[in-house]
Amino acid sequence: MIFAMGPESVAIKAQKDGVLVLGASGKLGRMALRVWQSMAGQHSGIIPVFRRGSTTGAGVIWQPGHAVPQLDGIQTIVAFWGVTPGPGRILQDNAHLAVAAMELAKALGADRVLHCSSGAVYGNGASPLRESSPCAPAHPYGIAKLQREQAVRQWQDQTPRAPRACFLRIGNVSGAESLFAALKRDGPVTLDRFSDGLGPQRSYIGPEDLARACQALLQSGLDCLPDVVNIAAPRPTAMASLARAAGKQVIWRPAPTTAIQTVHLDTTRLDQILPLDDTAAAADTLVSQWRKWRDTP
């Protein structure tokens, strides 16, 4: 059942320790919800939130500027929502959406908000990139994500009894970034080749492991909740390995001088919450999770 939360709100009885998922219609939100829904009995208190009308499923239709939904028992908000690069999209709106999530959490009495940030906030820093590494984003998307984090911290400083915020600096999610968009298309995949003869490597995480990491943070005590945590497998994965695991031919081109060969997020902090072994970074694992949790077979 869909509950419309426009200018006139409707009371909904949520279960104890309820979780609101903002951005439930986005790529990450859809995949995470499918994973959680497969965990019978573990996440019966999850309530997806859609910013626009929907005719199927269960959840709430709400967006900033509408009346606060009358929900009882909400402990956590997971803010998957955000603006991604594209024509006509305003990346600066990421900061407004993040603050709106905090304001909603405070109004509902939630104690924490998990914000989806990105490893792009580090820019071209030397790997491995730790949460304490300097943030110097090199592209507009990374700049917008860093502004999102800064806007939330400023709001917390100005707001008495503000909810906690945890920023998930997520690596590349299999099924939700440009390489996997190429894997969906017919034909070979073109990758950069660097002077050592190898291609690009990135810190990836599968949608199933991403959902499990969020679950662990939802269940963490507030005194153990980190302000920032890198979300990725323990080691980077070669993009060529991913392409081949998906059955694609790789075509090489010389890497431009501005290309970055390796982005490696350090996961020491994540290991304290959800230890992942090297199989989480295996190309077969990442492709398998993509195929299992994507929208279409």
pLDDT in 10s for each residue of the chain, 297 residues: 333 333 333 344 444 578 999 999 888 999 999 998 887 555 568 899 987 765 455 788 898 989 998 888 999 999 999 888 888 888 889 999 999 999 999 999 999 999 999 999 999 888 899 999 999 998 999 999 999 999 999 999 999 999 999 999 999 999 999 999 999 999 999 999 999 999 999 999 999 999 999 999 999 999 999 999 999 999 999 999 999 999 999 999 999 998 999 999 999 999 999 999 999 999 999 999 999 998 654
- 252 — phi, psi (to 5°)? -100, 150
Buried/exposed code over 202-241 (b: 16+ C-beta within 10 A; e: otherwise): bbbbbbbbbbbbbbebbebeeeebbebbbbbbbbbbbbbb
Domains of the chain: 2-171+206-232+266-275 (3.40.50.720), 172-205+233-265+276-297 (3.90.25.30)
**Which residues on adjacent β-strands are paired with residue 152?**
none
Q: How many residues does the chain have?
A: 297
pTM of this structure: 0.91
Where in the chain does DSSP place strands (E)?
2-4, 11-12, 18-22, 46-50, 59-61, 70-71, 74-79, 112-118, 164-170, 172-173, 189-193, 201-202, 204-205, 228-231, 237-238, 250-254, 262-263
Helix residue ranges per DSSP H, 109-201: 140-158, 178-184
Of 15, 107, 18, nearest to 67 by C-alpha is 107
Q: What is the pLDDT of residue 51?
A: 79
SS3 253: strand
